[in-house]
Amino acid sequence: YSAVEVLREEPAKVTIRGLRRSFYPPTHLPMVNNMPPDKTLKLEWVYGYRGTDTKRNLWVLPSGELLYYVAAVAVLFHREENTQRHYVGHTEDITCMEIHPSRELVATGQKAGRHRKTVPHVRIWSTETLATLYVFGMTEFQVGVSALAFSQL
């Protein structure tokens, strides 16, 4: 932009200590690449365990993996192989977990966050594929989900 083009733009007007000020965008800014980076982060290992304020938060799967959660991640830890798999479908801290009697499905609930994308809800997912099978309660809960159970039907 030239200085003339910048001055044609509407300035940001702010009152500071009773005086009205006008601020124009800078005239000599380098071009910024707003594209997302080519590289992405990959979760390798989760340390910790949320055991102080929740119950029924540690399960043993038929595969021998331990299933538990930390923050917004459900961890499937294989002790003999010293490996972890991670379910990362949640957008806020997981607050409860229940495993289906078949041991193939898990229900996890989360607390509310500060944004619309972090509303409390429940996710049903597969212990084999870690795929989300069903999400519900996006408009039903206000603060969070504190307990879950599968029916015996």
Domain contains 49: no
DSSP 24-90: PPPS-PPP---SPPS-------------SS-SS-EEE-TTS-EEEEETTEEEEEETTTTEEEEE---
Domain contains 92: yes
Domain contains 30: no
What's the pTM value of the predicted model, to 2 decimals? 0.74
Domain contains 52: no
pLDDT confidence tier of residue 7, bands split at 50, 70 and 90:
low
Domain contains 103: yes
Q: What is the pLDDT of residue 2?
A: 56
Residue ranges making up the domain that contains 125: 58-136
Domain contains 20: no
Q: How many domains does the chain have?
A: 1
